[in-house]
Structure 1
């Protein structure tokens, strides 16, 4: 991880040659996210991949080839924990997709607050052709973000889409030239980091848990607790006072 200043840092998936998600990489990424989230001054994060060909090649197929069923269960349990760490991260989370984004890489990107991609980026869920499955939490996220028809197209079809098609279906928010990708994503992370952290965290928590099916009483309890927390937060108070001035 590299600190870029301005309250933002870059976390790079660096597992040559294709930034595949080995068991070790999954554990390291999960630990990094949880450690940062628990700290007093967690930065806004930009997630990207090393090099220009791959953001993330998904699960490490060579490693998976040696698994038995129980090993795969352990692997999927660890990956589920990574998706939970992404979902629960209270600070701004920006993805800079610099190349191929495969399987679990798409699941990771869809838990970001904003996704930038280079024109060279390609997105594919190959699991249906490889005899594997994405995580159910990831599948649910695909359907929530993209809608049922696009989710079926990608998950059941197994065909790659380019950056512009990915933007059209909702995987990507902005397509940016490769040479500008990391700088633009980092600038967005810094801008988000400048917003009151307590407010940002409360909004992300509400977006995560405030579904229409949630009991009204539970929604009210969260509203009251978050309102108290934000009202007493110094940064939120400063933002209110600046607005009033």
Structure 2
């Protein structure tokens, strides 16, 4: 895996830290999840999982402000239902790959972790975050919806009441609240976050792989039938909201404002 050309996976880089792979989403200014990055992450995790002894992974974002700001709304401009369906299929496939990744996966959240980024982090075994990290599902305010599989995972980890509040308000919340609800395992200083995540991954990776795989599968409880139902629900919802005038107006408004909020100087 480490011999693959990073040029083949735009917006994604990785480095081997003595047996721990640090995978970095790198799309300035906010590491937004466009379709090529989603497919790249899927490719990375599925290919790595196919190895006899996959390395532990730390997933993080480039820069100091964003783990990832979630889906790239700009990419949706001028697209139609077929494109949004393809994008949602790709994102669902990525979540399935993360759900089934058999080795340690640590999220090193270095800033905003919202929308699709929140969904990615929820499939990590451990989440470490900096004090400036923000979390949430803001889609209702931006004319979008999370993937059904991501919401089911959030409910499984955090509970129905907490997730209901998150998704219906769209409000972001602090790392302190994330710790209190069991989303974040530990807060780290920005300059020690990556080292702490690598050490966490290395410690977990030292466990017997066959046992780690079996226990992780039991805890995550992956289910093909349930996943297919989630995919159908996600696509049906996307078809309903994508051309809805109110949702489209929210996306357009968010797009107009996003450049000032994610200026490169702030990264």
What band does the TM-score fall into relative to the shorter chain? Answer: 0.7 to 0.9
CA contact (8 A) 2:100 2:222 kept: no
SS in 2 for 1:94: strand
CA 1:33–1:158 in structure 2 vs 1: closer, same or farther (change >3 Å)?
same
Q: Is residue 209 of structure 1 aligned with residue 221 of structure 2?
A: yes
Deviations 1:215-239 (A, max 9, x none): xxxxxxxxxxxxxxxxxxxxxxxxx
Distance 2:183 2:75 in 1: 27
Distance 1:135 1:191 in 2: 32
* Superposed counterparts of 1:125-140, under 5 Å: 125-140=137-152
Distance 2:110 2:72 in 1: 19
2:255 paired residue number: none
**TM-score normalized by the length of structure 2:** 0.77
Shift of 1:171: 1.6
* Superposed counterparts of 1:74-89, under 5 Å: 74-89=86-101
* Superposed counterparts of 1:90-109, under 5 Å: 90-109=102-121
Cα RMSD, aligned residues only:
1.2
- Segments of 5+ residues of structure 1 without an aligned counterpart are 212-245
Q: Runs ≥4 in structure 1, deviation > 3 angstroms?
A: none
2:208 paired residue number: 196
1:182 paired residue number: 194
Distance 2:208 2:55 in 1: 12
Give the number of the structure whose alpha-carbon radius of gyration is greater.
Answer: 1
SS in 1 for 2:21: strand
Distance 1:29 1:109 in 2: 13
Shift of 1:8: 1.1
Distance 1:121 1:159 in 2: 14
Alignment size in residue pairs: 210
**TM-score normalized by the length of structure 1:** 0.84
Q: Is residue 54 of structure 1 aligned with residue 54 of structure 2?
A: no
SS in 1 for 2:211: helix
CA contact (8 A) 2:99 2:222 kept: no
Shift of 1:208: 2.0
Q: Is residue 44 of structure 1 aligned with residue 53 of structure 2?
A: no
Distance 2:80 2:221 in 1: 35
Q: Is residue 2 of structure 1 aligned with residue 6 of structure 2?
A: no
Shift of 1:77: 0.5
Shift of 1:56: 0.4
Shift of 1:210: 8.2
